[in-house]
Every structure is written in structure tokens, then in C-alpha cells.
């Protein structure tokens, strides 16, 4: 895996993790009882992007290590997802 692929893989994992972390421990203005005029009651009451980014980065780093380890070890390859045999038979000679 090249360094560009590693960065792209981490970015994809980070954003997917971020969208999972966003609603966790969310207190809405309606639950808090202090709705700002002009906002919905479902708007966050105490949102901290910095805190969400830290949690996301820690979780994404753990997931990245696992996924990168699987990719680099060769335990799962692209041919494992070729269910319709479109890639042809694998060659046994080294290239």
C-alpha cells in the first residue's frame, strides 16, 4: 500500500467514524429545556467539534490499524470479493 492509499484509507475511515460519533451523547435543546429562538428543538444544545474530532480520531486510528493490518498481511485480497469470477484465474507464476 502506497502512502497515498494509506492517507485516503484513513480519511475515509475517519469520516465514516465521524458520522457515527456525531449523534452519540447528543443533548438537544428540547431535552435541555433552553430552546434558542429561531432554532429547532432538535438542534444540539452543547456541541463541541473539538471533542467529537478527538473521539473520532482515536476510534478511527484503532479501526485503521486493524484494516491496514488485514490489507498488508494479505489475509483478504481483492480476489476474495470476485464472486462472479470476472478477474479470471489467478496466475501461479510470480510477476
- The structural domains of the chain, with segments of one domain joined by +, span 3-77
What pLDDT score does 64 carry?
Answer: 98
CA distances from 80 to 13, 24, 74, 87, 90 (A): 21, 34, 11, 11, 11
pTM higher than 0.85: no
Residue stretches of the chain with pLDDT short of 70: 93-95
What is the pLDDT at residue 27? Answer: 87
Look at residue 94 in the predicted model and tell me its pLDDT.
Answer: 67
What pLDDT was estimated at residue 84?
87
Which cell goes with 10?
Answer: 484513513
User: Which pLDDT score is estimated for 90?
Assistant: 72
How far apart, in whole angstroms, are the C-alpha atoms of residue 39 and residue 35?
A: 7
| pLDDT at 32 (0 to 100) | 83
Give the pLDDT score at 5: 93
Amino acid at each position: 500500500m502506497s502512502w497515498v492509499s494509506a492517507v485516503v484509507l484513513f480519511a475515509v475511515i475517519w469520516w465514516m467514524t465521524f458520522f457515527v460519533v456525531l449523534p452519540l451523547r447528543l443533548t438537544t435543546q428540547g431535552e435541555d429545556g433552553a430552546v434558542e429562538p429561531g432554532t429547532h428543538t432538535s438542534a444540539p444544545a452543547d456541541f463541541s467539534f473539538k471533542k467529537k474530532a478527538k473521539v473520532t480520531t482515536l476510534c478511527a486510528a484503532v479501526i485503521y490499524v486493524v484494516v491496514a493490518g488485514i490489507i498488508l498481511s494479505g489475509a483478504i485480497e481483492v480476489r476474495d470479493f470476485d464472486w462472479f469470477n470476472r478477474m479470471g484465474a489467478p496466475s501461479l507464476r510470480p510477476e
